[in-house]
Amino acid sequence: MPKALEQLMIDMVKARGSDLLLHAHSAPWFRVDGELIEQKERGVLEPDAVRQMCYEILTDRQIKTFEEEMELDTAHIIEGVSRFRVNMFRQRGSMGAAFRCIPFEVPTIEQVGLPVKIGHYFAERPRGFVLVTGPTGCGKSTTLAALVNHVNATSPNHIMTIEDPIEYIHEDKVALVNQRELGVDTYSFQAALKHVLRQDPDVILVGEMRDLETMQLAITAAETGHLVFATLHTTNAVQTVDRIIDVFPPYQQQQVRMQLSVNLVGVISQTLLRRAEGKGRIAAWEIMLCIWSIRNLIREAKSYQIQGSIQTGIKHGMMTLDMCLANYVKRGVVTEEDALLKSSDPEEFKRLLHGDEEEGAASTPNRKQGR
């Protein structure tokens, strides 16, 4: 028989949920298609019940770590069901937990919905820095997994990943894949990145760039001839460039601009929306490729002009988030209301969506005036 917590995880997966949330003095919650749904019929969980359920799936070492640090990131597997990314925490003196469903099957670029030519372009670079950005829970890890999966399936490279925790498991295909987990295989992103260049990698994945040192080491790894994938919690390409540069002290910022302008391959920013039919979600994208003009803007500290270059870079495969959203609405994939909530520039979104109609109406003479 499954443990009580594992049964909740199984039920969440059956309900097509992405997350299970446990909270003392409340019933469990499932996140389904982006919306939280309280499972009231399962009853309220008291603090002792939450702690007992969570401790059932932890080792003695993990319990000790949690009790000392009051935080724990780990992973859990239910054979035949799914992997789960686990975060346990304390709130108001009791225990809480979040469980993210991670499918066993590693997705392809086509399955995540990223334009195939763009996905192949990023994954097939011999070197450089590729960033996947977006808010929490938008699918960054899934997109990264799809890019690494393409490398794994097509190139005889050595792939090193540094994750917290390991989410998708990559089996060796054409490539050799080593996956390192914080707290199990290494102490920190910084420690792993300091030694990774001696491990003969061709491709390096950094699960999250959290601080200056991690960013500097990741940029240096790209600069020394490796293909580096990483994530940031930023919402668009301009913010991504600015965030990296602003983390560094002023005396280093020009040097970092030079490094980025030379090594950055591009930025994929994404968010998730409900599909119009109400079942499932779809990723919307902003894609920036570091063509010559954008490299100049980064080097000359004119990042505020990058958005304009993305808008005019359609022939290179670039697009803004609003372009993607407007396209989805025109195709009936998402509703205008949901797209507007995710838009980075609502006025620009409306112009892209209704501009042709408005221009057509303006150019059509009034019948009475035409007589």
Q: What is the mean predicted confidence (pLDDT) over 169-191?
A: 95
Q: What is the pLDDT of residue 361?
A: 46
Separation between Cα atoms, residue 74 and residue 58, nearest integer Å? 9
Checking if the pLDDT of 262 tops 90, the result is yes
- pLDDT above 50 for 363: no
- What mean pLDDT is reported for the chain? 93
pLDDT value of position 303: 95
Which tokens sit at 163?
């994750």
Contact by Cβ (8 Å): 129, 218:
yes
Q: Mean pLDDT across the stretch 89-103?
A: 95
Model pLDDT for residues 140-151, shown as the tens digit of each residue: 999 999 999 999
For residue 360, pLDDT beyond 60: no
pLDDT of residue 364: 46
pLDDT tens digits, one per residue of 42-52: 999 999 999 99
Question: What pLDDT sits at residue 58?
Answer: 95
Q: DSSP per residue over 223-258, as a string?
A: HTT-EEEEEES-SSHHHHHHHHHHHS-HHHHHHHHH
**Alpha helix ranges (H) inside the chain:** 4-14, 47-55, 60-69, 109-112, 116-123, 140-154, 189-196, 212-223, 237-247, 250-263, 292-299, 306-311, 321-331, 336-342, 346-363, 367-370
Instruction: Please tell me the predicted confidence (pLDDT) of residue 1.
Output: 55
Please enumerate in sequence order all residues whose Cβ is within 8 A of that of 21, keeping only pairs 6 or more positions apart, or say none: 28, 29, 30, 31, 36, 96, 97, 98, 99
Would you list the DSSP string of 296-334?
HHHHTT-GGGHHHHHHT-GGGT-B-HHHHHHHHHHHTSS
pLDDT band, very low/low/confident/very high, at 369 (cuts 50, 70, 90): very low
Domain ranges of the chain: 4-102, 109-319
Helix axes of 346-363 and 321-331: crossing angle, nearest 10 degrees = 60
Neighbours of 209 (CB within 10 A): 24
Query: How much is the average pLDDT of 243-252?
Result: 96
Using the predicted structure, report yes or no on whether residue 115 has a pLDDT greater than 70. Answer: yes
- Angstrom CA distances, 135 to 42, 120, 141, stand at 30, 24, 11
Q: pLDDT class for 357, splitting at 50, 70, 90? A: low
Rounded mean pLDDT, 193-198: 94
The predicted model gives 15-38 an average pLDDT of 95
Q: How far is CA 280 from CA 82, 94, 283, in A?
A: 18, 33, 10
What CATH architecture does domain 4-102 belong to? Answer: 2-Layer Sandwich (3.30)
Q: What is the mean pLDDT of residues 12-39?
A: 95
The answer to whether domain 4-102 and domain 109-319 are alike in fold is: no
Is the pTM of the predicted complex or chain greater than 0.85? yes
pLDDT cut 90: percent of the chain above it: 91
Architecture of domain 109-319: 3-Layer(aba) Sandwich (3.40)
pLDDT (tens digit, 9 = 90+) per residue, 209-234?
A: 989 999 999 999 999 999 999 999 99
